[in-house]
Amino acid sequence: MPDITELIRLAGQARDRAYAPYSGHPVGAALVTDAGAVFTGCNVENAAYPLGTCAEQSAISAMVLGGGRTIRELVVVGPTDAPCPPCGACRQRIREFAGPDARIHICNEREPLLTFTPDELLPASFGPENLNPRKA
Ligand code: THU
């Protein structure tokens, strides 16, 4: 199971592969699942601006493709020492797959700056169990 320092390193590596020519704001994400598998992602922008995708989104897609389902720790590293918290859409994406004890760490290249539980990140959220209560 990788520790936070290793996840920060991997998120930084992913950040360095981001495609962010329009915002100049490269972001990397690294997550570990409850099974100990690690997945990373970076933001990928587009000349048609709204089509850009976030680092968290790409790490979650990689997780699902790799057979993972439950996030235990997620690290986000932005381009500077200032915190780069997930956007609203990514908070909802994280909420879909965050385990009960998940932690989301907003980091610089060295250490966590902010750490959230899923509920702190997106309080009173809508999730799978709200969609069809009979199936939950
Ligand atoms: N971005 C992310 O990838 N993750 C975040 O947590 C916040 C923002 C990206 C989206 C866009 O490509 C750029 O950063 C500027 O918003």
Full pLDDT tens readout for the chain, 136 residues: 899 999 999 999 999 999 999 999 999 999 999 999 999 999 999 999 999 999 999 999 999 999 999 999 999 999 999 999 999 999 999 999 999 899 999 999 999 999 999 999 999 999 999 997 655 5
Atom of ligand 1 nearest to the CA of 45: 12
The ligand 1 site (C-beta within 6 Å) comprises 20, 23, 25, 27, 43, 45, 52, 54-56, 76, 84, 86-87, 90
Does 56 qualify as catalytic in the annotation?
yes
Q: What pLDDT sits at residue 132?
A: 75
Name the closest-CA residue to atom 14, ligand 1: 25
pTM assigned to the model: 0.96
> Who's near 101: CB < 8 A, 6+ residues apart?
72
4-135: in CATH 3.40.140.10: yes
Q: Determine the distance separating the centroid of ligand 1 and the alpha carbon of 76, expressed in angstroms.
A: 10
CA atoms of 52 and 97, how far apart (whole Å): 21
Residue ranges per domain, the chain? 4-135
Q: What pLDDT sits at residue 113?
A: 98
Atom of ligand 1 nearest to the CA of 23: 15
CA atoms of 94 and 74, how far apart (whole Å): 9
Q: Buried b vs exposed e over 13-41: b needs ≥16 C-beta within 10 Å? A: ebbeebebeeeeebbbbbbbbbeebbbbb
- List the end-to-end C-alpha distance of the chain, in Å, as a whole number: 30
